[in-house]
Amino acid sequence: MARRSASAKVVKLSATGLAKAKAELANVRKTPGELERQRKMLDFVDGLDAGAVKSLLDDLATKPLSGGDDYEAFNDLIARWTELDPAAALASASLET
């Protein structure tokens, strides 16, 4: 499965789209096999805009991270956010410490 190029179009999500993104994230996290799950997760986050990433991070933050898949999803979303909006990601990190 080829990775998207850096020029791949990022789609902004509506509220309905965000609900679908949360459902898709849940499905990706259930993918059997570590490598296939990583591939799907990276493809998934590549298609998100900064607002969608922040909303998904906010949703994850409402629950305790309980395992490797939680941390993997959180880290991939943080990495994507820092690519898209480094100032906001850094500001948020500064507030958390």
Q: What is the pLDDT of residue 12?
A: 57
- The domains of the chain are located at 15-96
Please, which pLDDT band fits residue 22 given cuts at 50, 70 and 90? confident
Task: Give the whole-number percent of the chain exceeding pLDDT 70.
Answer: 80
SS3 at position 48:
strand
SS3 at position 11:
strand
Q: What is the tens place of the pLDDT at every residue in 37-55?
A: 999 999 999 999 898 999 9
The set of residues, in sequence order, having a beta carbon less than 8 Å from that of 92 and lying 6+ positions away, is 54
